[in-house]
Structure 1
């Protein structure tokens, strides 16, 4: 029997991760729940995994973090309420002082990596060094050492610089922890002291899916075979600010965990979470197997979860109907909802999710020889030709009807407190309708002679292909020559100098923290893929980082939203409709509006009928 439910998710803006689409054990007779040997299910996702480090500008993508969430344990995570859950079976944290803000993190004694090495202060300290960048070589710019075709660092990247590619800035998050933390409790705790108050301190450090194994980094970067010695070497390098050792350590942290098939070196998939990567066939699937060293509360019921990569949403539906996959969350289209209506034996949930579609313009280092969007009039002109309402009417309303609306804020989710007030003041109404004549006049005033605009988007995503076509046709009427920079590897190309002029993709919320979307707009922030830099925006962001008053936080976000629209940052288009379809042979599957959406409680999934065919 098929069951259908609908809900509209309303939440404050949170941390953002690049979305590939709207996303996309024991048996039921065991009341105690527990691992059922030999049990397995298959889920589908639209984009292939490519990095176990989701903290870099290259690896920060939903396709990676769905899996990283299950293989890398941490101090807390969000459930599907959504509310923040402290993962006390991994460790604990406490604020020991408000002034200065001081927080102590302690790892439980029985926490281990899958190779048996203990999770300890070396892991915590490496995480701090990477996400604070407090030990980085000053003023180093990696732009000249980034491959425009892949988005990865080139072999010419200097070997003598310390550079952690986390996008941390000194005004927010762990960037505010400039002093080296204090190690305690026989190497199981670290105490962080902030330079200034930070409102979202509870979300800043080692949440689930983010902390990598220091002993593996030490082994690979420093050529040390013994786990304990490697771990100690990383810790010593950090505590002594030893640039000679920190340079290779940072280089390996940046790129060493990037892979597109099962690595020959098993060290690269060492895990601390309930699952570990056990197999990976390029462009086909990743298999996760229950981690035998895991002792936490989120012990899995199902022994093996395979995540197949199916870029075509209709193909994912077909795979579900054929029994080849059990869980899908394809990008929702009218064809998808119609196809799902014809399948029995599944549960279908529809909602508005935490992802929003948008177009960003490259303020610097675009593909156009004249760097077209460094020109404010050209940016404003292009925003006027993007057919936002037509995109919603044509592609989104057939899925969810009148719930589909144009999103008019860079900061607030429609329906959230502050959204209506911000939309009234931010200037987005200037782009409610396409204005071809206004765009022509602005383009003429700009002095730009090369009007080519190459747009980066997911070329294997049918909805994005349709959006690109609508934008291309509209822009042509105003004199823009929109060209195709679409790629299946679009996620890794975001932020790559010279690769494109505008980008069409989705940001997906990963938390409800007010500050965690700010690295998208802050100068040098990890999510700042378009080289946007604004002193007024940076000033508001700095204030938001330290503001605890709820109304003042809303007021500051409204001010930031207005600044972004007046700077012609780009346009928001719509909030994603989300469709989750689950075979009735799997139970306890629920989705969250926050990443990792349907995977948030994969350890609770159960096979309803252990005798069913796979």
Structure 2
């Protein structure tokens, strides 16, 4: 499952309003030596840097969450909880918007190096795109980067967070002791979330990419100097390593590549099997001290296999993608607590518009209108209501069709949104309408559509089959491109349509910008519309909740008219745990879901 660094939908939980609270209780206990717990997740860990376009996935960020710290985090309410043990932030000015971040004393990396303003500066430089001077040129058919030499010679931080607010901080932040101060070029409504990102160790990134002989202190200082002076000779290799040097599917030989600045540190990683985290002895500054010495996250893609592993005692917590069979199987287990809290995640089908396929204007000699008609025709064949009825209502009888790209059903503004956004055009399957659109486009059938989905996920298999059967009636040949490695293939142009879920990580009103903005870090299908970009620019500086909804409605009118894709349903979440083994498990709607309070987990008995 992919995550949106800034959330899955504006106004998804609280219409963009952030609720501040004091520190959550729990933590602070002594680690119980020799204790261990195994849990399961449905996708393998593959990147230590969860900020990159490739690494921005729940499978990575759940693990990273347990080995990092932050200025604030979400609880299960969800409320944004400030974390003064790590650091603090304060607004110094509204005009211009000026924010000061200060690190607390004693915060350090697991190699003993202090977390410093150099790490904060690197986070700003990488996630603002301020120094990027080259963009990848990708072959639409193969996904191959055509200008790799140019990228290697330039500066390109491949961040998924670009467009999330830090791009408005165009000048290098001012450093003063253990603080940095950021000045925005214009107001930004979600400023409180813009810099709440995973840190990557500046000293390690420099040593790995520029000078492996540099001391930790000198390396960190060199990064800060390069950023302050705009030294592209240093920033070039630094950006390349930041973007790709932390990709991994097995335990690296150099432990510096998995440094922790949080409660746990990675001590073992076996490809496609598990990752083990051990309590970080150097974590002394925070209240989130874990009790369990070792946590192993096993990678189990098949939901039924996860249930079996729970029953057999191989794992004690699971959160499989739910089906009626999965829920029935879980409810039949003894000593297992099952929580069906809905996730802040939505299922959707996206169409690729830049890969030379059936939905790309280039296929029709640059005729954007013809490509749009073909996209509209395909979306008219997607049996959204049937998917809800057969796959979701057995789990949640109250489930409804999700008709918004940016607001969840039941959230403020949703009813106004779906009354105006144009989603009604795709409420029901319209085979004759799809045929008419193809005829209007002058496109002969069959039209081949490579459709990607998670091959080991039974619900996605069923969705694919329902879609393929329906689309065939209108003249589409939907080719099975199911793949267990679907997450790493997102955005590579190898597919024409894909079904997956966006997982929220925050309540930011501008969260969807990362997906629909032409240069957004989560823009995986090549969509670009100048009017949409302009509306998001307005949204970023709009503080009135009603006006925010109005802007989102205007954005969605364009998205639905452009036949970007369709939303289908909000995930029926399920978390199950063995209550004879572990206590303190509290599912949360936002990522990292049940991992959010890992420091409160305790072994029973």
> Equivalent residue for 2:80?
84
Distance 1:44 1:589 in 2: 13
Return closer, same or farther for 1:123/1:233 CA change in 2, 3 Å cut-off.
Answer: same
Query: Which residue of the other structure, out of 156, 162, 182, is the alignment partner of 2:155?
Result: 162
> Is the 8 Å Cα contact of residues 52 and 59 (structure 1) preserved in structure 2?
yes
> Equivalent residue for 1:384?
380
Query: Which residue of the other structure, out of 105, 111, 116, is the alignment partner of 2:107?
Result: 111
> Is the 8 Å Cα contact of residues 46 and 247 (structure 2) preserved in structure 1?
yes
Give the secondary structure class of the aligned counterpart of 1:111.
coil
> Equivalent residue for 2:43?
47
> Is the 8 Å Cα contact of residues 451 and 481 (structure 2) preserved in structure 1?
yes
Q: Name the TM-score, length of structure 1 as normaliser.
A: 0.90
Shift of 1:169: 5.0
Query: Which residue of the other structure, out of 138, 147, 163, is the alignment partner of 1:144?
Result: 138
Return closer, same or farther for 1:154/1:439 CA change in 2, 3 Å cut-off.
Answer: same
Give the secondary structure class of the aligned counterpart of 1:263.
coil
> Equivalent residue for 1:422?
417
Distance 2:152 2:595 in 1: 38
Distance 1:265 1:513 in 2: 37
Shift of 1:75: 0.9
Distance 1:422 1:411 in 2: 9
Equivalent residues in 2 for 1:266-305, closer than 5 Å: 266-295=255-284, 296-305=286-295
**Cα deviation digits, residues 310-331 of structure 1 (max 9, x gap):** 1110111111111110000000
> Equivalent residue for 1:309?
299
Distance 2:141 2:243 in 1: 14
> Is the 8 Å Cα contact of residues 14 and 515 (structure 1) preserved in structure 2?
no
Shift of 1:292: 1.2
Distance 1:574 1:167 in 2: 24
> Equivalent residue for 2:238?
249
Shift of 1:447: 2.8
Query: Which residue of the other structure, out of 174, 190, 193, is the alignment partner of 1:182?
Result: 174
> Equivalent residue for 1:363?
353
1:33 equivalent to 2:23? Answer no
Distance 2:349 2:39 in 1: 29
Distance 2:160 2:268 in 1: 30
Distance 2:29 2:161 in 1: 41
> Is the 8 Å Cα contact of residues 440 and 478 (structure 1) preserved in structure 2?
yes
**Cα deviation digits, residues 307-357 of structure 1 (max 9, x gap):** 000111011111111111000000000111110111111111012210100
**Cα deviation digits, residues 123-155 of structure 1 (max 9, x gap):** 000000001111111xx2213389957x99997
> Equivalent residue for 1:508?
503
Query: Which residue of the other structure, out of 328, 332, 337, is the alignment partner of 1:342?
Result: 332
Equivalent residues in 2 for 1:119-130, closer than 5 Å: 119-130=115-126
1:484 equivalent to 2:480? Answer yes
* Count of residues in Structure 1 that have an aligned counterpart in Structure 2: 577
> Equivalent residue for 2:247?
258
> Equivalent residue for 1:134?
130
Shift of 1:546: 0.6
Shift of 1:158: 3.4
> Equivalent residue for 2:551?
556
Distance 1:32 1:48 in 2: 30
Shift of 1:156: 5.3
Distance 1:227 1:589 in 2: 38
> Is the 8 Å Cα contact of residues 117 and 227 (structure 1) preserved in structure 2?
yes
5+ long unaligned stretches in structure 1:
1-8, 16-29, 610-614
Give the secondary structure class of the aligned counterpart of 1:80.
coil
Return closer, same or farther for 1:242/1:254 CA change in 2, 3 Å cut-off.
Answer: same
Return closer, same or farther for 1:53/1:148 CA change in 2, 3 Å cut-off.
Answer: farther
**Cα deviation digits, residues 496-530 of structure 1 (max 9, x gap):** 1x311111100011101101221111111011111
Q: Name the TM-score, length of structure 2 as normaliser.
A: 0.92
> Equivalent residue for 1:526?
521
Query: Which residue of the other structure, out of 201, 204, 207, is the alignment partner of 1:216?
Result: 204
1:12 equivalent to 2:25? Answer no
1:407 equivalent to 2:406? Answer no
**Cα deviation digits, residues 44-90 of structure 1 (max 9, x gap):** 01100101111111111111111111112211110101000111101
1:547 equivalent to 2:513? Answer no
Query: Which residue of the other structure, out of 446, 454, 458, is the alignment partner of 2:454?
Result: 458
Give the secondary structure class of the aligned counterpart of 2:340.
strand
Distance 1:604 1:504 in 2: 35
Distance 2:10 2:153 in 1: 44
> Is the 8 Å Cα contact of residues 140 and 355 (structure 2) preserved in structure 1?
no
Give the secondary structure class of the aligned counterpart of 1:276.
strand
> Is the 8 Å Cα contact of residues 27 and 599 (structure 2) preserved in structure 1?
no
Distance 1:344 1:211 in 2: 42
Distance 1:120 1:92 in 2: 14
Return closer, same or farther for 1:31/1:231 CA change in 2, 3 Å cut-off.
Answer: closer
Distance 1:269 1:178 in 2: 30
**Cα deviation digits, residues 78-115 of structure 1 (max 9, x gap):** 01010001111011111111110011111112000000
Distance 1:73 1:10 in 2: 24
Return closer, same or farther for 1:148/1:306 CA change in 2, 3 Å cut-off.
Answer: farther
> Is the 8 Å Cα contact of residues 10 and 510 (structure 2) preserved in structure 1?
no
Give the secondary structure class of the aligned counterpart of 1:316.
helix
